[in-house]
Structures are given as structure tokens and as C-alpha cells.
């Protein structure tokens, strides 16, 4: 009996000591958003009625929340968390739709860490934030809400470092279309196969993966100036994801979709296949005097063109123009929200070619085939309680007729012309946010 009592007391103390290592964190936020999308055609529902259908305006009330816990012991760390879920790159959900009750797994990872003297090692396994450094301020390549499943490696050698990742993003099942080459669509990260299915190129299956490699370097030039520079290479083994042409606005939204064709019908859109491509990402961040921070990011994807293999809606035109496969952002911010009455302001200009980044994973408000401005404002009403404002003004970048065309008159791959010469999707988005974090 005495031994059992001693064991119980020891277990109690051990449990309390373990719990003391746990750190809870979470946040909740509210967002009111306003979006205007204008195809610039000044189209009316009819000549007689004369009501505009070229500009569509949207308003949204949305909410988000997350809750997590982190902890660890010698050489081991872990994190578990849940959050509201909407899309891969957006955790705000529209209220009163039923979807605002959906809760997803935000993180479920464990990490092995080891100090080898001249080198620090970290290996993270599970659902996690990107192990590679990226533009987290303006989200040029990846949105901050994206979580990744798989393996993340971090090595640090003094001022030098190397990051790597092996992320599972689904499974691909191939089919054999009439054009001959196999295509596929990415689904859940599991599949079944037979010897016969793997012997036919039109029915093979494999995991969809993202591999990343990134050397980086940090400089501390003075007490007020620090810089980080990195070069990342990403290889996507990934099919079935496409970028919408026309500034990322779906065809259904053109001329307000459900309305009549209008006095000047907008050109129908198409989708550019972002399949099995690779990307280079050159990132520089600099902390400057007077509480200033500079970010410069340049992304270069595969050389790209409109043709029968890249356009998801088919492509019969003989006009195969080269399209933008690079994206870049230059931004400057002042201040950070650390305590009550802190404020921050930031501005950035960026551009994204239709074939530069994948819309599923990039900034959910700044899609490919756009260029434009972003302004950020933030103010801390109290410790861990902040107000925010964001304004994004975008214009369609490529302005190429992406409709599959069989005749020159249809203009597949040519610049907008004739009645549609002025077509240029313009988007203005602004949001007000309020949130707390602990």
C-alpha cells in the first residue's frame, strides 16, 4: 500500500511538471469585407433599361478562431491545434451559413531538435507551417493560412542555414484523354492500384508531393540593421489544379454571371494548368532603423505559353503566346503590434503572371494574373487586442483572350480587341478586422 501511495504521488508531480511545459495559444477575429469587380466594359443589361452589369459588388461578415497547445521535453517538441476552416488559404468563414461551424485540424506535429555544437537540427513531422522561409508579410508565393502535411527539415550553421521539405498534398489518378497524353486530378492522400493499372500509363497513380530546398543566410550589420536572404527551389508533383484567367475572376462573375449577356458581353475565361511545375523563390527581408522593415520577393516558375497542353478548357487556336511566369513584390512596413497603443502601416506593390504561383496556395486576395497595390494599417487597442485595415487594388495583368478558338475571329490567345478592347478586370478589396490573441 505504501509503495502504491508513493507511486501515485510521484505520478502526480510528474504530470504537473509535464503540464507546466505545455503552452496554450489561440486567437479569435471578426472581419467585414467589401469587394468590387469591374470588367471595364461598361456593359448594360439592355439598351433600353441601361442598368450596369459590368461591376459586381460583394459584402461579407466573417469570423475566424484557432486554439492550440505546444510543449515538449529534451530533444522533443510538439504542437496540436484546431481552427475554423474555409479554404486551403483562408480560415475566415462567412457567418450564418452553417460553414462557420466547421472546425478543422490546424496543426498536429512533433519535432526532434538537437544541438550538435556547430550545427542545430530540427525535423518536424505532421501538419505544420512551412519549414521554408517565405514572404509572410505580403504572401507572394504562399498564404499564411496554408498548412502542410509531411516532413520539414531545418539546419542552422551560425549565420548560414538550410531548409528542406517533403509535403504530401494528395494523390493523382491518371486518365488517358483523346489527345494522348495522360492527365490527372489530385484527391485525398491515398490510392489503390493493381499490377495491370500500373502497367498502363493512362491509369497509373501516385502521391502528389511538394519538394522544397532552401539555403539562407542572416546578417547582423549593426544594432539596427539585420538582413536575411534565401533562395528556394520548389518541385511540384501535382496535377488537377488550375489558375483562372481574367485576373482570377471566374467566368460566372463576368457581367454579373446570371444577368443577360449585356450590351457588351465579356469574353469567357479559361483555366491555365499549374501541373507538375517548378519554382524558384528569391527572398530578402531587412530590418532597418526607425522600426522599418523591407521585404523583396521574386518568384520564377517554368517558362509558359497558352497551348493545348496548358489550357484546361481545350485550345484549338494556332496562336500560342508566351505568358507571365514570374511574380514579385516590394514592400515596406513601419512598426509592429507588440503592446497597447502600438501601430503599424505598410505598403507594397506586386505583380503575378498567370503561370507564376498556384492560386490554391497563394494570397487568397491577390491571385495570379494580377498586378496592384496593397496597404496595411494596424492599431493595438490593448495588449493582444488589435484593429486592422487592409486595402488591395488590382488590375488584370495578361489581358489575353483565353477562350479556345478555332478561327482567327475568335481570337484565342490574342489581345482583347473590337468591342472587348477595353476589357480589363479591376478589383478593389478592403477589409476591417478586429481580433484578440493569447
The string of pLDDT tens digits covering residues 249-263 is 987 777 766 545 678
Query: What is the rounded distance in angstroms from the CA atom of residue 246 to the CA atom of residue 256?
Result: 14
The pLDDT score that the predictor gives to residue 135 is 97
- Identify the residue whose cell numbers are 498534398: 169
For the four alpha carbons of 404, 178, 308 and 191, in that order, the dihedral sign comes to positive
In whole angstroms, give the CA distance from residue 425 to residue 37: 7
Please tell me the predicted confidence (pLDDT) of residue 105.
Answer: 93
Q: How far apart are CA 130 and CA 163, in angstroms?
A: 10
| Predicted local distance difference test score (pLDDT) of residue 257 | 61
User: How many other CB atoms are found less than 10 A from the CB of residue 162?
Assistant: 16
The count of C-alpha atoms lying within 13 angstroms of the C-alpha of 6, restricted to the half-sphere facing its C-beta, is 3
Residue 394: domain span: 38-114+135-146+222-437
Domain count for the chain, please give it.
1
Task: Specify the pLDDT at position 264.
Answer: 85
CB 245, CB 272: distance < 8 Å: yes
- Which of the residue ranges 112-126, 279-293, 411-425 would you say has the lowest mean pLDDT? 411-425
The reply to whether 373 falls in a domain is yes
The per-residue b/e assignment along 381-415, b for 16 or more CB within 10 angstroms, e otherwise, is: eeeeebebebebbbbbbbbbbbbbbeeeebbbbee
Phi and psi angles of residue 4, each rounded to the nearest 5 degrees, phi first: -65, -40
- Contacts of residue 412, Cβ cutoff 8 Å, sequence gap at least 6: 306, 315, 316, 317, 319, 401, 402, 403, 404, 405, 406
Q: The whole model's pTM is what? A: 0.91
Is the model more confident about 136 or about 19?
136
- Asked if residue 333 belongs to a domain, the reply is yes
**Among 43-52, 190-199, 247-256, 403-412, which is the least confidently predicted range?**
403-412
Contact 399, 424 (CB under 8 A): yes
Tell me the three-class secondary structure of the chain, residue by residue. Answer: CHHHHHHHHHHHHHHHHHHHCCEEEEEEEEEEEEEEEECCCCCECCCCCCCECCEEEEEEEEEEEEEEEEEEECCEEEEEEEEECCECCECCEECCCCHHHCEEEEEEEEEEEEECCCCEEEEEEEEECCCCCCCCCCCCCCCCCCCEEEEEEEEEECCEEEEEEEEEEEEEEEECCCCCCCEEEEECCCCCCCHHHHHCCCCCEEEEEEEEEEEEEEEECCCCCEEEEEEEEEEEECCCCEEECCCCCCHHHHHHCCCCCCCCCCCCCCEEECCCCEEEEEEEEEEECCCEEEEEEEEEECCEECCCCCECCCCCCCCCCEECCEEEEEEEEECCCCCCCCEEEEEEEEEECCCCCCCCCCCCCCCCCEEEEEEEEEEEEECCEEEEEEEEEEEECCCECCCCCCCHHHCCCCECCHHHCCCCCEEEEEEEEEEEEC
Report CA torsion sign: 48, 52, 58, 59. negative
* pLDDT of 176 strictly over 90: no
Cell of 34: 467589401
373, pLDDT greater than 70 = yes
| Residue 230's pLDDT band (cuts 50, 70, 90) | very high
Q: How confident is the model at residue 15 (pLDDT cuts 50, 70, 90)?
A: very low
Set of cell numbers at residue 315: 485550345
93: which 3 cell numbers?
468563414
Determine the pLDDT at residue 406.
57
Residue 170 lies in a domain: no
The percentage of the chain sitting over the pLDDT mark of 70, rounded to a whole number, equals: 91
pLDDT, position 31? 97
Task: Let me know if residue 193 belongs to a domain.
Answer: no
Q: Confirm whether 105 is domain-assigned.
A: yes
Grid cell of 436 as nine digits: 484578440
- Give residue 402's pLDDT: 85
Least confident of 170-179, 230-239, 336-345: 170-179
- Tell me, yes or no, whether 354 lies in a domain: yes
Model pLDDT for residues 288-336, shown as the tens digit of each residue: 999 999 999 999 999 999 988 898 877 878 888 999 999 999 999 999 9
Q: Is residue 424 part of a domain?
A: yes
Structural domain includes residue 56: yes
Q: How far apart are CA 401 and CA 270, in angstroms?
A: 9
Q: What is the pLDDT of residue 13?
A: 39
Within a 13 Å sphere around the CA of 62, how many CA atoms are in the beta-carbon half?
A: 19
| pLDDT for the residue 98 | 76
Residue 7: per-residue pLDDT: 46
- At 102 the pLDDT is 82
Mean pLDDT, the chain, as a whole number? 89
Amino acid at each position: 500500500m505504501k509503495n502504491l501511495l508513493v507511486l501515485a504521488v510521484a505520478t502526480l508531480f510528474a504530470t504537473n511538471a509535464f503540464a507546466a511545459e505545455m503552452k496554450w495559444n489561440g486567437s479569435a477575429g471578426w472581419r467585414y469585407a467589401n469587394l468590387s469587380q469591374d470588367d471595364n466594359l461598361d456593359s448594360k443589361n439592355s439598351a433600353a433599361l441601361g442598368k450596369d452589369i459590368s461591376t459586381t459588388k460583394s459584402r461579407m461578415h466573417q469570423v475566424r478562431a484557432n486554439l492550440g497547445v505546444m510543449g515538449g521535453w529534451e530533444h522533443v517538441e510538439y504542437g496540436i491545434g484546431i481552427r475554423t476552416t474555409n479554404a486551403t488559404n483562408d480560415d475566415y468563414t462567412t457567418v450564418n451559413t452553417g460553414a462557420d461551424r466547421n472546425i478543422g485540424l490546424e496543426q498536429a506535429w512533433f519535432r526532434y531538435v538537437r544541438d550538435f555544437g556547430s550545427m542545430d537540427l530540427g525535423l518536424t513531422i505532421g501538419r505544420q507551417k512551412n519549414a521554408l522561409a517565405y514572404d509572410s508579410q505580403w504572401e507572394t508565393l504562399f498564404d499564411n493560412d496554408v498548412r502542410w502535411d509531411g516532413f520539414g527539415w531545418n539546419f542552422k550553421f551560425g549565420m548560414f542555414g538550410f531548409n528542406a521539405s517533403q509535403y504530401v498534398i494528395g494523390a493523382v489518378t491518371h486518365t488517358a484523354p483523346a489527345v494522348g497524353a495522360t492527365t490527372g486530378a489530385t484527391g485525398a492522400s491515398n490510392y489503390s492500384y493493381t499490377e495491370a493499372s500500373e502497367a498502363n500509363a493512362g491509369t497509373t497513380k501516385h502521391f502528389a508531393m511538394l519538394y522544397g530546398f532552401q539555403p539562407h543566410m542572416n546578417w547582423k550589420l549593426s544594432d539596427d540593421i539585420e538582413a536575411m536572404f534565401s533562395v528556394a527551389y520548389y518541385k511540384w508533383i501535382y496535377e488537377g489544379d488550375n489558375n483562372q484567367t481574367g485576373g482570377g475572376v471566374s467566368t460566372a462573375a463576368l457581367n454579373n454571371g446570371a444577368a443577360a449577356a449585356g450590351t457588351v458581353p465579356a469574353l469567357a475565361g479559361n483555366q491555365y494548368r499549374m501541373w507538375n511545375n517548378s519554382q524558384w523563390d528569391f527572398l530578402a527581408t531587412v530590418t532597418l532603423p526607425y522600426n522599418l522593415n523591407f521585404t523583396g520577393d521574386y518568384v520564377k516558375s517554368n517558362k509558359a505559353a497558352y497551348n493545348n497542353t496548358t489550357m484546361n478548357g481545350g485550345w484549338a487556336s494556332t496562336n500560342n503566346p508566351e505568358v507571365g511566369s514570374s511574380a514579385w513584390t516590394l514592400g515596406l512596413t513601419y512598426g509592429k503590434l507588440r503592446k497597447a497603443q502600438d501601430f503599424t502601416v505598410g505598403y507594397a506593390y506586386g505583380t503575378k503572371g498567370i503561370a507564376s504561383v498556384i492560386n490554391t496556395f497563394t494570397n487568397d486576395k491577390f491571385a495570379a494574373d494580377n498586378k496592384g497595390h496593397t496597404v496595411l494599417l494596424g492599431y493595438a487597442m490593448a495588449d493582444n487586442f488589435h484593429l486592422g485595415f487592409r486595402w488591395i487594388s488590382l488590375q488584370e495583368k495578361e489581358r489575353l483572350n483565353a477562350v479556345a478558338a478555332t478561327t482567327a475571329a475568335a481570337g484565342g490567345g490574342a489581345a482583347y480587341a473590337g468591342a472587348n478592347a477595353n476589357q480589363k478586370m479591376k478589383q478593389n478589396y478592403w477589409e476591417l478586422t478586429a481580433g484578440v490573441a493569447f
